[in-house]
Amino acid sequence: MGVIAWLVLGALSGWIANRLMGKNISTGLLDNIIIGIIGAFIGGFVFNFLGSETIIAFNLHSIFVSVIGACILLWIINKIRR
């Protein structure tokens, strides 16, 4: 994927993960992009470990994988902060 697609995917999945995890505070665009991109790596690793295909395009599967990874990342961050 291109850089623009990674930024859009990161922003979208970071925003969705923030809402799903109950983080209704207003986070910035840069925060959502970082959470989403790191979440995509985490989600890709987890889904690859489980035998699913990797993220190779901007589609619903890649958004789902990155949102799951971003939720895992936010859960870990929440546990560390406590």
pTM for this predicted structure? 0.84
Which of 19, 4, 3 is closest to 67 using CA atoms? 19
Residues counted in the chain: 82
Mean residue pLDDT across the chain: 83
CA distance 3 to 41: 15
**Could you report the per-residue pLDDT of 13-35, keeping only the tens digit for each?**
989 998 888 765 567 888 888 98
- Check if the beta carbon of residue 32 is closer than 8 Å to that of residue 11: yes
